[in-house]
Amino acid sequence: MENHILNEKQKKAVEFKGKHLLVLAGAGTGKTRCIVGRAAYLIDQGTPPEKIQILTFTKRSANEIVERVKSSLSDNQAQSLNGSTFHSWCNQLIVRYPNLFGASNYTVIDPDDQLSVMMMVCGDQVIEYKGIRIKPQQLIDIYSYGRNTRQNLSNSIREKVFKGKKDEETNDEIDIIRPKVEVLLKAYQIKKGDGRYLDYDDLLLIVANRLRNDEEARTILSHQVKHLLIDEFQDTNPLQWYLLEPFLQIANFYCVGDDAQSIYSFRGADFKNVHLFKERVPESEVLILDKNYRSTQEILDLSNWLIEESSLDYNKKLISTRGEGIKPKLINVASQWEEANFIAENILENFTENNKNFIDHLILSKSTYYTKPLQAVFIQKKIPYVTYGGRKFMEAAHIKDVISALRVVNNVYDEIGWMRFLTFWDGIGEIKAGKYISKILEFKDPLECAQNLEDVIGGADGEKIGEIYNTIFINSGNVKKAIQETYSKMELPLAFKYRKDWEEKRKSDFPVLEMLGDNYSTIGQLISEGILENAKQLNGEPVLEGSQLNDSEIKDHVIISTVHSAKGLESDVCYVLNVSPKVYPSAWNLHSEESIEEDRRVLYVALTRAKNELYITRDTNSINTVNNSDNSSDASSKYFLEKLPENFIDQIINPFSIIKPRDILTPNKIDLSTGMDFS
C-alpha cells in the first residue's frame, strides 16, 4: 500500500521510539506521509485510535489524513481516530467535559459576529487621534493579535495600528490611544460574557488555562490523549503553543513542519518555533527529511533559487528523486481575460488530447477575488471547478438567516442571533428588533419563550416567530428535522429576499444544510462545530467550501485555491497566477523585510505544489508601469523574479493574446459615392 513505502529516514520517523519528535523537512519530502504512517504505526502497535489526536490547520487536511490512515489499515482498525483543527479540537473537549471547562450553552461566534458584537459595544463612540481613527474591525484585530501572540495591549496597538513602528512619536500616540482602546476591549469582553459567546480564541484559552492551572484536569485528559500528531508545526502561534505546553506532560508530541512554508505570521505564527523546538521541549529529537518525491528537478531548481535569494537562511536545497522533466513556463499576459483564456484552453487541450483529467490541474492565487474572471471563463467553457479558500458555506447570508433561528433557541441570550432572526422579517428593522431583544433578554423560562415571543412581538409576525421558536425547541434532539421545519417556514421570505439568484444558487444549499444537520446530535453542536468545520466533506466532496458547481456528482474538477488553502495539496499541472511586480512581493509589504519574506514563502508554497508542469503567469502591464515610473523602483528591485536566471524557465508571450490593431485617434469621414462608375 502507498503509505507503506517509506525511505529509511521516513521509516525512522514513523517508528520513533522516544518521547517527542520534530520532523523538519522541505516541501514534498513526505511529511504528510510520515504523519499518516505514524498514526497507522501507533494503532498497529496497539495504541487505541481514540487516544491519538491529529491536529491540522484545515478540516480538509485533517479529513484527508484520517482517511488515508483508515485505508492503510484493515478491519476498521482506525474507526475512532480523530483529526481536527485546534479550534475544533478544543471545542470538542469543552463539549465533552462541560463541567471541567465550565462552559455550556454557549454560542461560538465567527469573525463576522465578532465584528457585530464589537459594533454594538462601540455604538457611536469613535477613537480618533491625529487623523488616526480606530474602527471596530481594527479593535478586533488588536484584540486577536494580542491574544494570539500573547503580547500586551501597547505592542498589539503598535503592530496593528502603527505597522510596528517604534519611534518616540509613535510611543506617545500609543500612550494616548491605549486607555480608550482598553475601555472598549473590556466592554467587549463583558458583552461576550453576557451573550455567552465564545470567539475562536476563547476556545483555545479556556482549555489552555484550565490545563495549565489544574492538575485534576491534566489527569482527566491524560486518559484521553496519549499522542498528539501536529501538522504544519511552523505555523503554530504563541497561543497554540500556550495550549500545547501543558500536554507535554501527559502526551507524546509528533510534530512535522517546514520553516520555509510558514505563511501565517499575520495570525501571529512564528516559524522560529521549529528552531526552538529542542530548547522548549525536553526529551525531544529532531529529524530532517530532504528528498523530494513530488516534483521534477526543474521545478525544484526554481523553488530552490527563490528561497536561496532570501536574506534568511533556510538551509534548504530540495533534490528530486524523480529526476528531470520540463522547465517551468512563464506566461506573459496583457490582461486577466487573456490569462483566463490561456489557462482554460490549456486545460481543455490536456483533457481532450493529453489524457489528463480536470483534477490534475491546480490553480493558485493570492486571493480568491483575483480568480473571478477565470471562474467566469470556466463557466462559459464548461470546465468544472471547485474553489478552496474564500467565503465558506456557513458564512453565506441565506444560511446565516436560517441558522440564526437555531442560534436563539440554543442560547436565548444570543443578541446577534436575535438581531439577525428578527430583522429577517419584513417590517422589523433594527430599532424595533432592539426593543424586542431587551424584553426577550428578561425571559426566564425557556418553556414559555415561544408564548412570550408572541406577546412581545404581537400580530402575525409574533405568531410566526413564536411558532418557529417552538418547532425548533421541540426538535432540539433531532437537528435535521429542526432544520427542515425551520426552512419550510422561512422558505418563502428567503426566496423573496434573495430573488436575484435564489433558484440558480442558493436554494440548493438547504438540502446540504439538512444533510450536515444529520451529523450532529444537538443544535449546539451543529452551531459550534458547523461554524468551525464548514469545510467538512460530504460524500468525499468538499461541497461546503463554496463550490460553484452544485452537482456533487461531478468528481472530476479543476481546483482553484488560494495559496493559503493549498498547503499539502499537489497536482500534475499547476498554474500560479499573477506573479507580477507589486504582487510578489505585495506593494503593501515593501516597507517590511519580514512581510517581504512571508510573501516569498507564499510563492515558495505555490511553486512546490507542482509535480510535472508549472505555469507562472505575469501581467505585462505591471512590468511596464513599474519600469516606467521612478517612484516604483523599489517594487521593481524587490520583485522576486527580477533577477531570475533565464535558463530556469521558458518565457511565452500568450499565444491567445487578442492583438488590438493600431488605429488613428479621430475617425475619418467615409465617402459612399465611390466604386460605381456612372460614366
Ligand X SMILES: Nc1ncnc2c1ncn2[C@@H]1O[C@H](COP(=O)(O)OP(=O)(O)OP(=O)(O)O)[C@@H](O)[C@H]1O
Which residue, among 346, 391, 385, has the nearest Cα to 367 in the 3D structure?
A: 391
| Percent of the chain as helix, strand, coil, to the nearest 5 | 55, 15, 30
CA dist., res. 444 & res. 457, Å (int): 17
Judged by CB under 6 A, which of 293, 370, 443, 487 binds ligand X? 293
Cβ closest to ligand X, residue 53 vs residue 261: 261
Cβ 319 vs Cβ 292: under 8 Å = yes
Residue 405 φ then ψ, to 5°:
-65, -40
Instruction: Give me the 314-353 binding string for ligand X, x by CB under 6 A, dash otherwise.
Output: ----------------------------------------
Which residue, among 122, 328, 97, has the nearest Cα to 217 in the 3D structure?
A: 97
304 in contact with ligand X (CB under 6 A):
no
Cβ closest to ligand X, residue 69 vs residue 456: 69
Cβ 393 vs Cβ 538: under 8 Å = no
Cβ closest to ligand X, residue 411 vs residue 612: 612
Total residues contacting ligand X by CB under 6 A comes to: 19
296 in contact with ligand X (CB under 6 A):
no
Min dist. Cβ of residue 366 to ligand X (A): 18
Residue 495 assigned to a binding site = no
Other C-beta atoms within 10 Å of 359: how many?
Answer: 15
Stretch of residues binding ligand X (CB under 6 A), selected from 28-36, 139-147, 451-459, 668-676: 28-36
7 in contact with ligand X (CB under 6 A):
yes
What is the C-alpha end-to-end distance of the chain, expressed in Å?
90
Min dist. Cβ of residue 42 to ligand X (A): 18
Cβ closest to ligand X, residue 33 vs residue 506: 33
The interface with ligand X within residues 592-631 (CB under 6 A) comprises 608
Residue 29 assigned to a binding site = yes
Cβ 23 vs Cβ 255: under 8 Å = yes
Which residue, among 101, 189, 176, 116, has the nearest Cα to 146 in the 3D structure?
A: 189
Q: Which helix (H) or strand (E) holds 400?
A: helix 397-410
Min dist. Cβ of residue 304 to ligand X (A): 14
Helix boundaries (H) for 248-312: 272-275, 277-280, 297-308
294 in contact with ligand X (CB under 6 A):
yes
CA dist., res. 111 & res. 513, Å (int): 21
Min dist. Cβ of residue 359 to ligand X (A): 14
CA dist., res. 115 & res. 140, Å (int): 7
Q: Contacts for 173-181 with beta carbons within 8 Å, 24 or more apart?
A: 173/129, 173/130, 173/132, 176/129, 177/127, 177/129, 177/132, 177/134, 178/153, 178/154, 180/127, 181/127, 181/134, 181/139, 181/142, 181/153, 181/157
The interface with ligand X within residues 238-267 (CB under 6 A) comprises 258, 261
Min dist. Cβ of residue 579 to ligand X (A): 18
Cβ closest to ligand X, residue 302 vs residue 453: 302
Judged by CB under 6 A, which of 5, 319, 460, 658 binds ligand X? 5
Beta strands, E only, 563-674: 571-576, 610-619, 650-653
Stretch of residues binding ligand X (CB under 6 A), selected from 31-39, 57-65, 380-388, 423-431: 31-39
Judged by CB under 6 A, which of 21, 32, 393, 486 binds ligand X? 32
Cβ closest to ligand X, residue 420 vs residue 567: 567
Min dist. Cβ of residue 258 to ligand X (A): 5
Min dist. Cβ of residue 566 to ligand X (A): 9
Min dist. Cβ of residue 644 to ligand X (A): 22
Cβ closest to ligand X, residue 36 vs residue 649: 36
CA dist., res. 397 & res. 442, Å (int): 28
Stretch of residues binding ligand X (CB under 6 A), selected from 1-9, 147-155, 333-341, 577-585: 1-9
Residue 123 assigned to a binding site = no
CA dist., res. 175 & res. 154, Å (int): 8
Residue 427 assigned to a binding site = no
Min dist. Cβ of residue 9 to ligand X (A): 9
Cβ partners under 8 Å of residue 484, min gap 6: 514
**Cα-based distances in Å from 518 to 108, 152, 176, 483:** 19, 43, 52, 10
Cβ closest to ligand X, residue 3 vs residue 346: 3
Min dist. Cβ of residue 554 to ligand X (A): 24
Cell matching residue 664: 488613428
Stretch of residues binding ligand X (CB under 6 A), selected from 27-35, 68-76, 214-222, 577-585: 27-35
What is the full DSSP assignment across 402-454? HHHHHHHHH-TT-HHHHHHHHHTSTT--HHHHHHHHHHHTT---GGGHHHHHH
Judged by CB under 6 A, which of 13, 16, 21, 29 binds ligand X? 29
Cβ closest to ligand X, residue 345 vs residue 570: 570
Q: Is the dihedral of CA 445, 104, 479, 200 positive or negative?
A: positive
The interface with ligand X within residues 561-590 (CB under 6 A) comprises 568, 570
Min dist. Cβ of residue 565 to ligand X (A): 12
30 in contact with ligand X (CB under 6 A):
yes
Residues annotated within a binding site for ATP: 25-32
- Contacting positions for ligand X (CB under 6 A): 5-7, 10, 25, 27-33, 258, 261, 293-294, 568, 570, 608
Residues annotated within a binding site: 25-32
